[in-house]
Structure 1
Amino acid sequence: MSIAQVLADSGDNRSLIKAFSTMTSLEDGWEPLEFPKIERYSRYRLVEDDGEQVVEATTDNSASGLIARVSVEPGESLTLRWRWKVSNVFEQGDARKKNGDDYPARIYIAFEFEPEEAGFFERARRKTVEVVFGEELPGNALNYIWANRLPKGDIVANPFTETTVMVAVNSGSQRVGEWVTVERDIVADYKEAFGRKPPKLAGVAIMSDSDNTGESATAWYGDIQLIRP
């Protein structure tokens, strides 16, 4: 079944993430994810590939994404399943370094902020951002990445912030140009990354970025499924 499913805490099987294969436009269930001080945005469009509609992402010294806003209790187990393909990895890509923190393809899972787990200065910083920009920031995040140097299976903190953890689900150029299917247990990954159970999911995003390395790549994203076992 290619239609993405998100089973909400109520268990009513209602889809909360719009499947790319069923979208009539990029605004149909997803919205742009853009960042301050980034002047060049990656480009996203719906295309046909191997008989199915997917999202094509092109990044060229740029960064931005597409995000589906959700509010889902993860429970004891929550499976994320998707397929993707990339044209190349980045020669300068390195998940452990700020100047290498770029990926031809990544899936970003944002969780709700947990104020009881944050220190005073973090809470103050977030409140300032909310007042200035009028938007509440998410809490911790998991990033599932197609890495360059980071070995497949490794989990490391993002070089810019410890609230974001990078999980290498593919690595290197061995399967470049092929569709690859990935499946992860979000709850298990969050526990390994942060040492506790996850709060509610706040969003699921795709992102192809190259603003730190200045390189370029194209990625294709198939339907993303969020499924209770």
Structure 2
Amino acid sequence: MTVFFRLLLVWVLAWPMLASAEERVPAFSRIDSLDQGWEPLNFPDIERHSQYELVTVDGTQVVKAQTDASASGLVTLVRVPPETEPVLRWRWKVSNVYEQGDARRKSGDDYPARIYVAFEFEPDKAGFFERMKRAAVETFFDAQLPGNALNYIWANTLPQGSIVPNPFTETTRMVAVNSGPKQVGEWVTVERNIVADYREAFGAEPPPIVGIGIMSDSDNTGESATAWYGDIELITAPATGG
């Protein structure tokens, strides 16, 4: 199976199980179970899945993710014009980074923690063959598929602030918001301007955001890690003076 169809199949299998799109990301701190607004994102050709559960840390409910030579995630469907609320804010913590992790190589494309932001597909900007392949999948599964994506990652050696293409697909860019072991074991709060990141990553204005996901994976490196994810928020950027 080609990388293109593998990625599309992963998303299309998760999408129909999700309820209608919301304007907010379901808060981990306020849900009773992970099936309240979130669904598993499993890869058909990867048998070992990462494990996710709600736990309480310092009085706040968060998601604990454990990965051991495994890969899977959680996704939620949203519908947000990026110009309305372009800032993504979250906090996370990891137990370690991967010795073999390398965002530029397929064999190192693993991260103890990542946030996945999917955007609406823009057929007028896609090539003929990409449009035809997507049309075939969407017809078969009766579902709309996302287009480009940003992955905010806790990298190993990729310098913090770097944006690089994903080694498996040209429609995804990896954004190193944390890198290396310096803050391992600490809660880190991150805020990213999605519009600015999309412009830098793809050289264009972003279409609407259609999905948010989390993933802790280690299937390529064969390593293991634990991560904790706090609430993920889409918020309005502060007004700038004129």
Give the aligned partner of residue 220 of structure 2: 212
Letter in 2 for 1:215: E
The one of 131, 134, 155 equivalent to 1:126 is: 134
Tell me if structure 2 keeps the 8 A contact 1:106–1:206.
Answer: yes
Give 1:15 deviation, angstroms: 5.7
Q: Distance in 1 between matches of 2:143 and 2:102?
A: 31
Aligned to 1:99: 107
- SS of corresponding position for 1:183: strand
Structure 1 gap segments, 5+ residues each: 1-13
CA-based RMSD: 1.3
One-letter amino acid of the counterpart of residue 80, structure 1 = L
Matched residue, 1:144: 152
Q: 1:15 to 1:127 in 2, by over 3 A?
A: closer
Q: Give SS of 2:222's match.
A: coil
**Paired-residue identity, %:** 69
Aligned length: 216
Shift >6 Å, 4+ stretches: none
Q: Which of these residues, 194, 201, 217, is aligned with residue 186 of structure 1? A: 194
8 Å contact kept, 2:92–2:187:
yes
Shift of the 37–133 alpha-carbon distance from structure 1 to 2, 3 Å rule, reads farther
Q: How far has the Cα of 1:34 moved from its partner?
A: 1.6
Return the TM-score normalized by structure 1.
0.91
Which residue of 1 is the match for residue 240 of structure 2?
Answer: none
Q: Does 1:202 align with 2:210?
A: yes
Asked if 1:83 is matched to 2:84, the reply is no
Give the gaps of 5 or more residues in structure 2: 1-21, 238-242
Cα distance in 2, alignment partners of residues 163 and 136 from structure 1: 16
Structure showing the higher helix proportion among its residues: 2
The CA distance in 2 between the partners of 1:146 and 1:51, in whole Å, is 25
- Separation in structure 2 between the aligned mates of residue 43 and residue 59 of structure 1, nearest angstrom: 7
Distance in 2 between the 1:136 and 1:214 partners? 33
- Answer with 69-78 or 184-193: which moved more: 69-78
Name the CA distance, whole Å, in 1 between partners of 2:97 and 2:173.
20
State the Cα distance separating 1:130 from its structure 2 match. 2.4
Contact 1:77 1:185 in 2 (8 A): no
Output aligned runs, 1:49-68, within 5 Å.
49-68=57-76
Kindly indicate whether the alpha-carbon contact (under 8 Å) linking 2:24 and 2:233 is maintained by their aligned counterparts in 1: no
Counterpart for residue 8 of structure 1 = none
SS of equivalent residue, structure 2 residue 211? strand
In the TM superposition, residue 134 of structure 1 has moved relative to its aligned partner by 4.0
- Quote the offset at 1:112 in angstroms: 0.6
What's the CA shift for 1:36?
Answer: 2.4
Contact (CA 8 Å) 1:77, 1:188: kept in 2 or not?
Answer: no
- Indicate whether 1:160 and 2:132 are aligned: no
TM-score, length-scaled by structure 2: 0.86
How far is the alpha carbon of 1:59 from its aligned partner?
Answer: 0.6
- Do residues 32 (structure 1) and 70 (structure 2) align? no
Q: Supply the distance in 1 between the matched residues of 2:112 and 2:78 (Cα, whole angstroms).
A: 24
Between the aligned partners of 1:15 and 1:118, the Cα distance in structure 2 is 27
Amino acid at match of 2:222: G
Partner of 1:7: none
Q: Which amino acid aligns with 1:61?
A: A
Secondary structure in 1 matching 2:186: coil
Q: Give the Å deviation of 1:17.
A: 1.4
Displacement, 1:33?
1.3
Shift of 1:124: 1.5
Q: Is the 8 A contact 1:94 1:148 kept in 2?
A: yes
